[in-house]
Amino acid sequence: MTKLSFEFISNTLETILKRVGFSDERAQQCARLFIEASRDGVHSHGLNRFSRFIQSIELGVVKVDAKPEFVASFGALERWDGCSGPGNLNAYASMERAIALAKTHGIGCVALRNTNHWMRAGNYGWQAADAGLIGICWTNTLPNLPPWGGTKATLGNNPLVLAVPRANGEHVVLDMAMSQFSFGALENYRRSNEQLPVIGGFDRDGELTRDPVRIEQSGRALPIGYWKGSGLSLLLDMIAALLADGEATYQITPDIVRETRLSQVFIAFAATAQNRDEILNGILSFMKSAAGDSTVRYPGERTIETRRRSIDEGITVDEAIWQDIEALARR
């Protein structure tokens, strides 16, 4: 692990992005979204993904110049086409548009089709909360999660984000996939030779297990809450495909580098109670009063701690990953 400054990383990423065709402004924004994920400790969807993102561009899956195009307006709800553009820029633009709609209509919704992987889901929740709005968004994914009762991955893990703003910037942001553990997380546990803290999937014999290796072998990760997360994943896919008039999980190429034509939903709410922070502080302090075995934390609490450390000490980056990125910059 090495520690690098935001500016240093951004310069390197922007150099690469401009070389593959990004404008100055879009290169800066795209780099920022990658770096903010790593800065906040979400390494799995930050710089770790950058080389694969460049590969997707080179394969023609991600079109660097493409911007979302307006399809239809229904008032406070709009449908847009991502035109195969960079997933993080498309998602950012869509949440910006949902925020603008919410400022006019109290609530605003953008349904986006034909987009690419948005990388860190939570970014677009932080974006809404930084603008002072409540945000909800989700995406479908390639098939990577077996439904409850099934052995084949015919659902996506369809990450869902809910975000609530606080005046001090310490927003409450939940960013959760519908699988109990991502395959990235399973890999980390395997590498450190650890069992999962809770049951995370099935082995090849259909038995529930905490062994990451057995789950990787079977490919049968577990939906959160068993039948409940399986149902939630299904409904999120349906609603995204229907609102966006876009592709559903079953139509998405099951190849991590060629995953494309995703459907996403962005909702913003502009009308909150006057005493917003008082309500939220009341909720948080009551929740934390339950502390027992361990500290009770709210979603986003660790993010703020990690972010502060990154700003003070530099952003933690895996050395091998940084070498790959530097190799791209030197090409």
Selected binder of its own copies within 42, 237, 266, 315 (CB under 8 A):
237
* Single-letter code of the amino acid located at 225: G
Selected binder of its own copies within 271, 311, 327, 329 (CB under 8 A):
271
Measured between alpha carbons, how far is 135 from 96 in angstroms, rounded to an integer?
A: 11
Task: Report which of 147, 135, 153 is spatially closest to residue 91, judged by C-alpha positions.
Answer: 135
Choose one: 29-37, 40-48, 234-242, 319-327; the region binding its own copies (CB under 8 A).
234-242
Smallest separation (angstroms) from its own copies to the CB of 74: 3
Question: 45 an active-site residue?
Answer: yes
Smallest separation (angstroms) from its own copies to the CB of 306: 16
Smallest separation (angstroms) from its own copies to the CB of 331: 40
User: Residues touching its own copies: how many (CB under 8 A)?
Assistant: 87
Which residues have C-beta within 8 Å of that of residue 53, sequence separation ≥ 6? 34, 62, 86, 117, 119
Which residues have C-beta within 8 Å of that of residue 276, sequence separation ≥ 6? 165, 166, 167
Specify the residue for token string 């993010």.
303
Determine, following the binding rule CB under 8 A, whether residue 295 of this chain makes contact with its own copies. yes
Alpha helices in 212-271 (DSSP H): 212-218, 227-244
Selected binder of its own copies within 250, 257, 306, 309 (CB under 8 A):
250
Which residues have C-beta within 8 Å of that of residue 43, sequence separation ≥ 6? 37, 316, 318
Decide whether 5 or 182 has the Cβ nearer to its own copies: 182
Determine, following the binding rule CB under 8 A, whether residue 232 of this chain makes contact with its own copies. yes
Smallest separation (angstroms) from its own copies to the CB of 84: 19
Decide whether 291 or 327 has the Cβ nearer to its own copies: 291
**Contact mark string toward its own copies, 53..92, x via CB under 8 A:** -------------------xxxxxxxx-------------
Determine, following the binding rule CB under 8 A, whether residue 226 of this chain makes contact with its own copies. yes
Choosing from 43, 45, 117, 171, the catalytic residue is 45
**Contact mark string toward its own copies, 113..142, x via CB under 8 A:** ---------------------x-x------
Smallest separation (angstroms) from its own copies to the CB of 124: 15
Contacts 24+ apart (CB under 8 A), 247-250: 247/113, 247/114, 247/140, 248/140, 249/140, 249/141, 249/142, 249/143, 249/154, 249/155, 249/156, 249/158, 250/143, 250/154
* Run of H or E including 164: strand 160-164
As annotated, the active-site residues are 45
